[in-house]
């Protein structure tokens, strides 16, 4: 299936798998359960293959084409947690493996990642620090043809259900040349994944802890040369922001359409509530936020795909889209009134799901720090 065909299908609410993706979302959200049946549906769509090379079974499409497909997923799927796990699946191990991994590792693992057979996670954040990636405390010491890893990680998306992990560990002194990335399979002695944590939103996307106790990893499982973990991280984070928030854009666009339809249908005092400025101005603001998010994502994605410096653009895009998502969700709750706060309608779930976006992949405060620094302040 071509990317255009895939995107068109995902954008259609009558797509063959749309109903399956949205089945039991409320119940799964309440339970905080990873939707394995829906994961199988995602596998069938081919979405997880779009960004990977044809020689390994991928669709061979570029960054912006993949962004468009993921926007479609966000538009169709009401299960934001599932969508978030899908984005993590693409960027966490597959993206760095394709760019920095050995041919042996690519041939062995990329087909399983693209098919969704092997669920993946990357282990960056630690309890003592998230945004300060240059000072990670998890360490790996060389012991012959192995690394021995000790330490732990916190808030790792997909960790409780993952089959493959990419570990970011310290093999040198603090700083950009002290990090190394290692590929580890679940079940390896010395690697322990904790249970899923209960959280406010994205509840079907499990988050957990990892601990490493004398974990032995063959040197052949290293992704990239020793000491180049920061380069791997930089490559991954650019795509994590662009892919994850392309999904967010799709969710915002659907929310806007649903809110407009409700404002036309709902009558108060003899006329549609959308005819009142208090409502129509909120919807106008929602539209402007959606289109602002779309333009920032498109422009930044094009820059990254062209190999241009997009550091400031990425920080601004992440901040703008994540904060627009929260505000449009708040506006939707307010416009829907009583329905907005009832779990059966899913509108309050949109608000809960939006909140974490201002935190993961670098908080809004960290992004503003980056922007200020890049402006010479």
Residue 272 phi, psi (nearest 5): -60, 140
Residue 165 is given by DSSP the state E
How far is Cα 349 from Cα 155, in angstroms, rounded to an integer? 21
- Whether residue 278 contacts residue 264, with contact meaning beta carbons closer than 8 Å, is answered with no
Pairing type for strands 164-170 and 120-123 reads parallel
Mutual orientation of helices 311-336 and 347-355 as an angle, nearest 10°? 150
Tell me how far apart the terminal alpha carbons of the chain are, to the nearest angstrom: 48
Is residue 240 annotated as a catalytic residue, yes or no?
A: yes
What are 139's strand-pairing partners? Answer: 150, 170
Residue 376: other Cβ atoms inside 10 A: 5
Both tokens of residue 21? 């993706």
- Whether residue 19 contacts residue 81, with contact meaning beta carbons closer than 8 Å, is answered with no
How far is Cα 101 from Cα 166, in angstroms, rounded to an integer? 11
Cβ-based burial of 102 (10 A; exposed 0-12, middle 13-18, buried ≥19): middle
How far is Cα 320 from Cα 325, in angstroms, rounded to an integer? 9
Residue of 71, 226, 240, 251 marked active site: 240
The secondary structure of 348-375 as a DSSP string is HHHHHHHHGGGTTTS-HHHHHHHHHHHT
The Cα-based distances of 214 to 166, 190, 228 in angstroms read 17, 6, 22
CA neighbours within 13 Å on the CB side: how many for 35?
32
Catalytic residues: 240
């Amino acid at each position: 299936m071509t990317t255009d065909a895939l995107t068109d299908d995902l954008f259609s609410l009558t797509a063959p798998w749309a109903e399956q993706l949205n089945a039991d979302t409320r119940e799964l959200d309440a339970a905080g359960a990873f939707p394995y049946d829906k994961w199988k549906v995602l596998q069938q769509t081919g979405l997880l293959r779009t960004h990977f090379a044809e020689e390994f079974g991928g669709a061979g499409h570029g960054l912006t084409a993949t962004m468009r497909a993921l926007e479609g997923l966000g538009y169709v799927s009401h299960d934001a947690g599932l969508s978030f796990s899908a984005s993590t699946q693409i960027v966490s191990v597959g993206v760095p493996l394709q760019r920095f991994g050995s041919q042996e590792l690519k041939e062995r693992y990329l087909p399983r990642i693209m098919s969704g057979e092997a669920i993946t996670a990357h282990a960056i954040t630690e309890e003592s620090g998230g945004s300060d990636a240059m000072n990670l405390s998890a360490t790996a010491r060389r012991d012959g043809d192995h690394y021995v890893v000790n330490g732990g990680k916190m808030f790792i998306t997909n960790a409780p259900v993952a089959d493959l992990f990419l570990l970011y560990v310290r093999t040198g002194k603090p700083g950009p040349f002290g990090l190394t990335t290692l590929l580890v399979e679940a079940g390896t002695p010395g690697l322990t994944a904790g249970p899923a944590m209960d959280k406010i939103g994205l509840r079907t996307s499990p988050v957990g802890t990892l601990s490493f106790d004398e974990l032995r990893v063959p040197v052949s499982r290293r992704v990239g040369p020793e000491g180049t973990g920061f380069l791997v991280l930089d490559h991954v984070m650019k795509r994590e922001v662009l892919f994850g928030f392309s999904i967010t854009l799709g969710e915002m666009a659907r929310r806007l359409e649903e809110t407009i339809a409700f404002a036309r249908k709902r009558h108060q005092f003899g006329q549609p509530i959308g005819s009142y400025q208090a409502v129509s101005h909120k919807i106008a603001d929602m539209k402007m936020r959606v289109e602002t998010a779309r333009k920032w994502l498109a422009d930044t994605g094009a820059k990254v795909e062209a190999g241009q410096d997009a550091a400031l653009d990425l920080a601004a895009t992440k901040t703008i889209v994540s904060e627009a998502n929260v505000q449009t969700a708040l506006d939707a709750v307010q416009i829907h009134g009583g329905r907005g706060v009832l779990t059966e309608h899913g509108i309050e779930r949109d608000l809960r799901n939006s909140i974490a976006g201002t935190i993961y992949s670098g908080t809004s405060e960290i992004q503003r720090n980056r922007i200020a620094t890049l402006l010479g302040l």
